[in-house]
Amino acid sequence: MGQHGESFHACAIFEDLTTRERQVLFWCCHGKTASEIAMLLHCATSTVNFHINNLHAKFGIASTTYIVAIMASEGLVLIEPPFHLAKDHEHIDHDDLHFTGRRPPGDVGRNNSSFE
Q: Hey, which bits of 4-111 come out as E strands? A: none
pLDDT in tens, 16-33: 999 999 999 999 998 999
pLDDT band at 8 (very low <50, low <70, confident <90, very high): low
pLDDT mean across residues, the chain: 78
104: which DSSP letter?
A: P
Looking at residue 79, its pLDDT comes to 80
- All domains of the chain, ordered by start, with CATH? 4-73 (1.10.10.10), 82-116 (no CATH)
Can you give 29-55 as a three-state secondary structure string? HCCCCHHHHHHHHCCCHHHHHHHHHHH
Q: Which residue has the higher pLDDT, 72 or 91?
A: 72
- pLDDT surpassing 50 at residue 106: yes
Report CA-CA distances (Å) from 37 to 34, 40, 65, 116: 5, 5, 15, 26
- pLDDT surpassing 80 at residue 92: no
Axis-axis angle for helices 45-59, 64-73 (nearest 10): 60
